[in-house]
Structure 1
Amino acid sequence: MTLAAEELPVSLRIDAGARRVRLDPTDPAFVQDPYRAYAAIRAVCPFFFWEDYDHWCVTSHAEVGTLFRDRRFGRDLRHVATRTELGWPELPAHVARFYAFEDHSMLEREPPTHTRLRGLVNRAFVSRSVERLAPRIGALSHRLIDAIPTSGAFDLLPTFAEPIPVTVIAEMLGVPVADAPRLLDWSHKMVAMYQFGRTRAVEDDAVAATEAFVGYMRSVVARRRGQPGDDILSLLLAAEQDGDRLSEDELITNAILLLNAGHEATVHAIGNSVAFLLGGARPRQPWFATPERTAATVEELLRIAPPLHMFTRYALQPLEVDGVAFRTGDKIGLLIGAANHDPAVYEAPERFDPDRPSVPHVAFGAGIHFCIGAPLARLELQVALPILFERLPHLRLAETPRFADRYHFHGLEALRLQV
Structure 2
Amino acid sequence: MDKPAYLEFDPDSRSVRLDPHEASFVQDPYPAYAFLHASCPVFFWENFGLWCLAGYDEVNRTFRDRRFGRERPGGYMANVLATGDRSHLADFDRAEAGSMLELEPPVHTRLRTLVNRAFVSRQVERLRPRAERLAHELIDRFERDGEADLIPDFATPLPATIIAEMMGLPAETGPQLVAWSNDMVRMYMHAPTREIAEQANASARAFSAFIRHHAEERRRTPGDDLLSVLTAAHESGEKLSEDELVSSAILLLNAGHEATVHQTGNAIRAILWQGGDPRRFFSTPEATAATVEECLRFDAPLHMFTRYAYEDVEIAPGIQLRSGEQVALLLGAANNDPAAFELPREFNPSRADQKNVSFGAGIHFCIGAPLARLEMQAALKVLFERLPAIRLAEEPRYRDIYHFHGLERLVCRW
The interval holding the TM-score normalised by the smaller chain is over 0.9
Task: Determine the structure 1 residue equivalent to 2:357.
Answer: 362
Q: How far has the Cα of 1:373 moved from its partner?
A: 0.4
Q: Distance in 2 between matches of 1:305 and 1:235?
A: 35
Paired amino acid for 1:331 = Q
Q: Does 1:291 align with 2:248?
A: no
Residue 41 of structure 1: aligned partner? 36
Q: 1:30 aligns with which of 22, 25, 40?
A: 25
Q: CA deviation at 1:356?
A: 0.7
SS in 2 for 1:124: helix
Does the 8 A contact of 2:262 with 2:301 survive in 1?
yes
Residue 186 of structure 1 aligns with which residue? 180
Structure 1 residue 237: Cα displacement:
2.5
2:91 and 2:202 in contact (8 A); partners too: no
Residues 340 and 353, structure 2, Cα contact 8 Å, conserved in 1? no
Please say which of residues 215-224 and 284-293 is displaced more in the overlay.
Answer: 284-293
Question: Counterpart in 2 of 1:262?
Answer: 256
Query: What residue is the counterpart of 1:238 in the other structure?
Result: 232
Query: Which runs of 5 or more residues in structure 1 are unaligned?
Result: none
- Higher mean alpha-carbon deviation, 215-224 vs 229-238, is at 229-238
Residue 388 of structure 1 corresponds to: 383
Do the aligned residues in 2 keep the contact of 1:319 with 1:325 (CA within 8 Å)? Answer: yes
In the alignment, structure 1 residue 200 sits paired with structure 2 residue 201: no
Alignment of 1:2-13 (within 5 A): 2-3=1-2, 8=4, 10-13=5-8
SS at match of 2:408: strand
Shift of 1:77: 2.8
CA distance in 1, matches of 2:91, 2:37: 39
Conserved 8 A contact 2:17-2:47: yes
Gaps of 5+ in 2: none
Deviation for aligned residue 1:171? 0.1
1:279 corresponds to 2:279: no
Paired AA for residue 163 in structure 2: I
For residue 353 of structure 1, what is the aligned residue in structure 2?
A: 348
Moved more, 71-80 or 213-222: 71-80
Please state whether the residue corresponding to 2:286 is helix, strand or coil: helix
Q: Distance in 2 between matches of 1:291 and 1:409?
A: 29
- 1:125 positional shift: 0.6
Aligned to 2:244: 250
Letter in 2 for 1:17: D
CA offset at residue 285 of structure 1?
4.2
What is aligned with 2:334? 339
* Shift, 1:190, TM fit: 0.4
Once superposed, what is the RMSD of the aligned Cα atoms? 2.0
Contact 1:14 1:41 in 2 (8 A): no
Structure-1 residue corresponding to 2:294 = 300
Which of these residues, 209, 212, 221, is aligned with residue 218 of structure 1? 212
Per the TM alignment, residue 100 of structure 1 is displaced from its structure 2 partner at its CA by 2.3
- Residue 15 of structure 1: how far off its partner (Å): 1.0
Q: Which amino acid aligns with 1:341?
A: N
Note if contact 1:397-1:418 (Cα within 8 Å) is conserved in structure 2. Answer: yes
Identify the match of residue 120 of structure 1 among 114, 125, 133.
114
TM-score normalized with structure 1 length:
0.94
Specify which of 165, 171, 179 is matched with residue 171 of structure 1.
165
Residue number among 370, 395, 398 corresponding to 1:400 in the alignment: 395
DSSP 3-state at the match of 1:135:
helix
Please give the alpha-carbon distance, in whole angstroms, between the structure 2 residues aligned to 1:267 and 1:51: 30
Question: Counterparts of 1:294 and 1:59 in 2: how far apart (Å)?
Answer: 28
Question: 1:388 Cα shift?
Answer: 0.4
| CA distance in structure 1 between the partners assigned to 2:367 and 2:85 by the alignment | 29
Q: Is the 8 A contact 2:72 2:102 kept in 1?
A: no
Correspondence for 1:310: 304
The CA deviation string for residues 323-349 of structure 1, in whole angstroms up to 9 with x for no partner, is 211112211100000000001111000
Distance 1:65 1:282, change over 3 A: farther
1:296-352 superposed Cα distances (whole Å, 9 cap, x missing partner)? 110001000110000001111222211211112211100000000001111000001
- Mapped contact 1:186–1:213 kept (Cα < 8 A): yes
Q: Does 1:138 align with 2:132?
A: yes
Partner Cα separation in structure 1 for residue 395 and residue 96 of structure 2? 37
Report the Cα offset of residue 244 of structure 1: 3.3
Q: SS at 1:150's partner residue?
A: helix
Distance 1:344 1:283 in 2: 31
Q: Structure 2: how far apart are the matches of 1:100 and 1:236?
A: 18
- Over 3 Å counting, the alpha-carbon distance change for 1:275 and 1:81 in structure 2 is closer
1:67 aligns with 2:62: yes
> Which of 135, 148, 153 is the aligned partner of 2:147?
153
- 1:87: Cα distance to partner? 12
Q: Distance in 2 between matches of 1:412 and 1:64?
A: 25
